[in-house]
């Protein structure tokens, strides 16, 4: 009988030990569930932040596109007005130049007139070349600034 009591006590101890082990495993699983829940919530918050940043960047890009379109329209209007004004100015300049040339060439030999015309043409071509180089430099600077802005936007997006 004592033997049966000891067996029963051993079985009870074994059951108690198994129950403790199961409770410990349940506690560990609860802890893992809490960690996963926290991670899920954190990811959801980060996702919301990224969505908000994306919307803000899309707004910035749309605003920049709109500004660029407005600037292009403005530049086109200026160029049209400038072309008209340039045409009027050139007509006056050509008339004045013709009068100056006539006065300048008065009394000169044909060879001297030809030399003066060549000098004038060289100067005009040189000025045209310099103007075009300045325009190319301006365009290169504009493109470089746009590339830098795009890099800054990409860095901003990647940093967040």
Number of residues that this document lists for the chain: 160
- Tell me how far CA of residue 63 lies from CA of 17, 52, 99, 129, 136, in angstroms: 68, 16, 52, 36, 27
Buried b or exposed e, range 120-140, using 16+ CB within 10 angstroms = eeeeeeeeeeeeeeeeeeeee
Average pLDDT, the chain: 82
CA-wise closest residue to 113 among 128, 103, 127 = 103
Phi, psi of 17 (to 5 degrees): -65, -45
pLDDT tens, residue by residue, 54-78: 888 888 777 777 777 777 777 777 7
**Do the beta carbons of residue 149 and residue 65 sit within 8 Å?**
no
Instruction: Quote the pLDDT of residue 160.
Output: 54
Mean pLDDT of 119-148: 84
User: What is d(CA 136, CA 144) in angstroms, rounded to the nearest whole number?
Assistant: 12
Mean pLDDT of 89-110: 81
Tokens of 114: 């030809």
The dihedral of CA 16, 17, 21, 24: what is its sign?
A: positive
- DSSP H or E segment with residue 135: helix 110-159
pLDDT tens, residue by residue, 32-59: 999 989 988 888 888 888 888 888 888 8
CB 53: neighbour CB atoms within 10 A?
14
């Amino acid at each position: 009988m004592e033997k049966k009591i000891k067996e029963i006590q051993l079985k009870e101890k074994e059951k108690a030990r198994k129950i403790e082990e199961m409770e410990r495993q349940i506690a560990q699983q609860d802890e893992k569930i809490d960690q996963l829940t926290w991670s899920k919530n954190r990811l959801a918050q980060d996702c919301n932040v990224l969505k908000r940043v994306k919307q803000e960047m899309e707004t910035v890009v749309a605003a920049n596109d709109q500004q660029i379109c407005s600037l292009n329209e403005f530049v086109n209007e200026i160029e049209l007005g400038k072309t008209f004004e340039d045409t009027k100015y050139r007509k006056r300049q050509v008339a004045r130049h013709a009068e100056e040339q006539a006065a300048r060439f008065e009394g000169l030999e044909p060879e001297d007139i030809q030399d003066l015309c060549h000098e004038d043409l060289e100067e005009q071509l040189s000025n045209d070349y310099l103007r075009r180089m300045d325009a190319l430099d301006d365009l290169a600077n504009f493109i470089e600034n746009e590339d830098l802005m795009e890099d800054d936007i990409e860095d901003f997006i990647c940093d967040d």
